[in-house]
Chain A
Amino acid sequence: MADDLESLYRTTYASVVRFLYRKIWDADRAQDLAQEVFVRAMAHRPEKPRAWVFAVAANLARDEARAAVRRKRHLSLLRDDPAGVPSNEPSAQDSVEREERLAGIEQALATLTPRDREVLLLWDAGLSYPEIAEQTGLAVGAVGTTLARARRRLVAAYDLQERRDHAAHS
């Protein structure tokens, strides 16, 4: 059992971090919470650990959003990442463009309804239709419908922004 969790940790840690990050937009906090998720899994020994891990992650992200409102002063420093040494930093121009693109995607994601967004993020984190259905309370048959809508809207919202930006720049 412990070994199951350990291998689950190895295979899904990065997905859990990404899943959390897309909800709270704080990379460091996302990693801290992802670890917390697995710490809790150690105590609970859930039957379906993969689905459980994402369910708990979703809950923690919700709590985090509430806490973030309360938190007035939080010294939030970025963690070290050994790969991010200054020598291979992209040029300023590149990074500005990248930032703009990221902001665009983030905004596009924000235009989705909470449910559509949740289903899309869960799918992208690697959950199956039945797992997504269980977590969101949707019927399995409705997952495809929801995903279809979420994908269409995400891409449409992003493209719309792109066109606006181009128009603004030219």
Chain B
Amino acid sequence: MRHIPEEELHAYLDQALSRPQCVEIESHLAECARCRASRDEIAALRDRTTALLANLGPVIGQAPPFEVIRLRSIRAGAARRQRLSTAAWAASIAVAVVAGWEGNRWLAQTPTAAESVTAPPTQPIAGPLVAEATPPSTPVQAQPAAPAQRRRHRNSAPAPAPAPATAPATPAEPATAEIAVEPQMQPAVTQLSPEDERVLLGALATLPPPTHPGWKALPVGQADSSVQTRMPRVSGLPIVQVLVQEVGTDEEVTAVDQQLSTGETIRTIEGPAAKVETLIAQESAARAEAGTTDDKKATLILRQGDRITAVTGPPDVLHNLLSKVMARQRR
């Protein structure tokens, strides 16, 4: 009489066999004590494996709402279309708008020296929404620091043509962005499905007025791949927007907003100590001036040499974060 091979018993217990195979095995088991013993032993082994592996999982509360996936997907799609077609500049406006998500007030009052020189005086009061058509593979740090050249304004005529002297400053990369401006083009937003649009509009409804001169919004998908090593963030949280200042210089400041599962935002800013401190001071001054009861935000400051990483968010979240960092340091 043929005994049942070990792997077949595994497959049997894993319910991976066909009905006739199961019947065959079961009738053999009924009359073979040795195979019954093997089956019990394998069942125990199987249970132990499952139990051991069950220890090896991060305890995750709830999956973030599917809307997070949808939004990320819309943004990724917009970034893709933008890469595919220079005419799709409008898509990144959508990206920038979606990315706004929550208060940009913090970043509102800090036009930088470089920006005030290069930004045309005809800037609309509402402030520019920036469309970027940077090739995806280009690291952000390698971008020439001439943001106004690639800047397009939603409410105004295209920015003046860049001075020829600065144009060749882009070394190896083609001047993709300069061809991108065709205001009469259909915005790529219309390619969204009605469902995507609903999400998009839902996000728009929560937006404060877009005013952050001096800052440049990076399409999230692109930022993800190009500034990965430098982008300050709390890993594991979906990124809602990435803003940069003075890219490629020592004065570079990066701000990354991420969404918590509660829907609140946590913001991480990385930059030279003095600049980041100024930003934080301005924010709390603005808060005091506005007399808002918005005291539900705390800031955690990590100083590394002459640079600071500051994380602003709900106090309990930051407290949690800090205790985990400490725990990790101790190890």
Q: Which B residues are within 8 Å of any A CB, using their own CB?
A: 6-8, 10-11, 14, 16, 42, 45-46, 48-50, 52-53, 55-61, 63-64, 66, 68-70, 72-73, 76-77, 80, 195, 228-229, 232-238, 260-262, 270, 302, 309, 311, 316-317, 320-321, 323-325, 328
CA distance A84 to B309 in the complex (A): 24
- A interface residues, Cβ below 8 angstroms from B: 2, 6, 9-10, 13-14, 17-18, 21-22, 26-32, 35-36, 38-40, 42-43, 67, 70-86, 101-102, 105-106, 108-109, 120-121, 123-124, 128-129, 143-145, 147-148, 150-152, 154-155, 158
Closest 3 A/B residue pairs (Cβ)? A28-B236, A27-B58, A144-B11
Q: Which residue of B lies closest to A32 (CB)?
A: B236
Contact of A154 among B16, B52, B325 (CB under 8 A): B52
Q: List 26 A-B contacts (CB under 8 A).
A: A6-B66, A14-B60, A17-B58, A18-B56, A18-B57, A21-B56, A28-B235, A35-B72, A35-B238, A38-B69, A43-B76, A67-B228, A79-B237, A80-B321, A81-B59, A105-B55, A109-B56, A124-B49, A129-B11, A143-B11, A144-B10, A147-B14, A148-B42, A150-B49, A151-B10, A158-B52
Given contacts A2-B195, A13-B63, contact A84 B320 (CB under 8 A): yes
Q: Provide the residues of chain B in CB contact with A14, threshold 8 Å.
A: 57, 60, 63
User: Chain A contacts of B68 at CB under 8 A?
Assistant: 35
Do residues A42 and B63 form an inter-chain contact, with CB atoms below 8 A? Answer: no
Q: Which chain A positions have C-beta within 8 A of B309?
A: 75
User: A26 contacts B73, CB within 8 Å?
Assistant: no
Question: In whole angstroms, how far apart are the Cα atoms of A128 and B324 in the complex?
Answer: 37
Which residues of B sit under 8 angstroms from A17, Cβ to Cβ? 57-58, 60
B residues within 8 A CB of A73? 229
Q: Which residues of B are found within 8 Å of A40, using beta-carbon distances?
A: 76
Q: In the docked arrangement, what's the CA distance between A75 and B258, Å?
A: 15
Cα–Cα distance between A105 and B56 once the two chains are bound (Å): 8
Residues of the B chain whose Cβ atoms lie less than 8 Å from the Cβ of A80: 260-261, 316-317, 320-321
Shortest beta-carbon distance, B235 to chain A, in Å? 4
Decide if A144 touches B235 in the complex (CB within 8 Å): no
**Chain A CB within 10 A, most for which of B68, B72, B235:** B235
Whole-angstrom distance between the Cβ of A22 and the nearest chain B Cβ: 5
Q: How close is A37's CB to chain B, nearest CB, in angstroms?
A: 9
Contact, CB under 8 Å: A151 / B49: yes
Please name the residue on chain B nearest to A142 by beta carbon: B7
Contacts of B66 in A (CB 8 A): 6, 9-10
A143–B293 Cα gap in the complex (Å)? 61
Q: Which of A31, A36, A102, A109 contacts B60 (CB 8 A)?
A: A31
